[in-house]
Amino acid sequence: MEQIKLVEVGPRDGLQNEANSWSVADRIAFINLLSQCQFSEIEVGSFVSPKWVPQMAQTDKVFQAIEKVPGIRYSCLVPNQMGLDAAQEVGVQNISLFTAASEAFNQKNINCSIDESFERFKPLMRQAQDHHLRVRGYVSCVIECPYAGPIMPDQVALVAAKLLAIGCDEISLGDTIGKGTPDTIKTLLTAVCAVVPLQKLAIHCHDTYGNAIDNISMAIKLGIRVIDSAMGGLGGCPYAGGQAKGNVATETVVKTLHQQGFLQDFNMDAMQRASAFVAARKTNI
């Protein structure tokens, strides 16, 4: 059976939306539990402004202290030069740049236009390539924007193609506010796959309206093999006006994929422990 890669985004996309910031010790313990589950990648945190996202302050300390299990990629979000320098200072090898298919969302989220975000990325990408970092690129609002409404698939394809052109190794398509349906996901992927190879794409579903599993199943049917999810359905984006509720829960994704014959080697006991750890601390509901 073909492999599916799971990217656990709970420690970043999950915890950035928690009402109470988790302590550095809890973030480290959570990631160490996740490392026993056999994810392909774990998003450790982000090197963004702590004034914008206080929950992600001290990601440097978290990154330094976690146990790094060989074979797992430990990645961090980086918005600008200051973030990239801070990430490299502590040895981060896998970074994620993030922009959106919506101008309005980008302004709220990273305080710049889509074009300006690509101007920002140019020197970051040069630096990343000089240091052989792996770079994931995120596109937010691939279906709908909380401020501007529906987004055209061609607009998403344009942004995804630009991320590919500047050298991103993988592009994650974010249904930030969970408005996707299997039909719109299919239309989206048809447009994006015309300009970005399927093997370079990941799907990142928020579960605001309970559609995420159906949307992921459609993406898998169309050949997507990299899925983002968050343990306990933690999360959301603080700049989506309260509409980016939880990420799709890792537990549900794993169960669904298991039923479909994928992820046979996933450590279910370790997942239970990580899941219980989240349940005891979750505050964003």
Which residue, 34, 18, 122, is CA-closest to 75? 34
Nearer Cβ to ligand HMG (47/277): 47
What residues line the site for ligand HMG (CB under 6 A)?
13, 16, 46-49, 51-53, 77, 79-80, 82-83, 98, 109-111, 138, 140, 174, 176, 204, 206, 237, 239
Report the distance separating Cα 140 and Cα 123, nearest Å.
21
Nearer Cβ to Mg ion (13/207): 13
Joined together, the tokens standing for residue 237 give 């984006």
The pairing of beta strand 144-145 with beta strand 149-150: antiparallel
Q: Which residue has the CB atom at the shortest distance from ligand HMG?
A: 174
Which residue in this structure is represented by tokens 């920002």?
A: 120
112 annotated active-site: no
11 binds, among Mg ion, ligand HMG, none (CB under 5 to 8 A by kind): none
Indicate the angle between helix axes 153-165 and 182-193, nearest 10 degrees.
40
CB of 174 to ligand HMG, least distance (A): 3
Sign of the Cα pseudo-torsion (202, 203, 206, 210, in order) = negative
Which of 4, 7, 13, 233 binds Mg ion (CB under 5 A)? It is 13
109 binds, among Mg ion, ligand HMG, none (CB under 5 to 8 A by kind): ligand HMG
CB of 213 to ligand HMG, least distance (A): 16
Nearer Cβ to ligand HMG (112/161): 112
Which residue, 179, 86, 183, is CA-closest to 140? 179
CB of 242 to ligand HMG, least distance (A): 13
Report the distance separating Cα 215 and Cα 82, nearest Å.
35
CB atoms within 10 A of CB 224: 20
Report the distance separating Cα 237 and Cα 259, nearest Å.
30
* Site string (140-179) toward Mg ion, x via CB under 5 A: ----------------------------------------
Nearer Cβ to Mg ion (84/142): 142
Q: What residues act catalytically?
A: 237
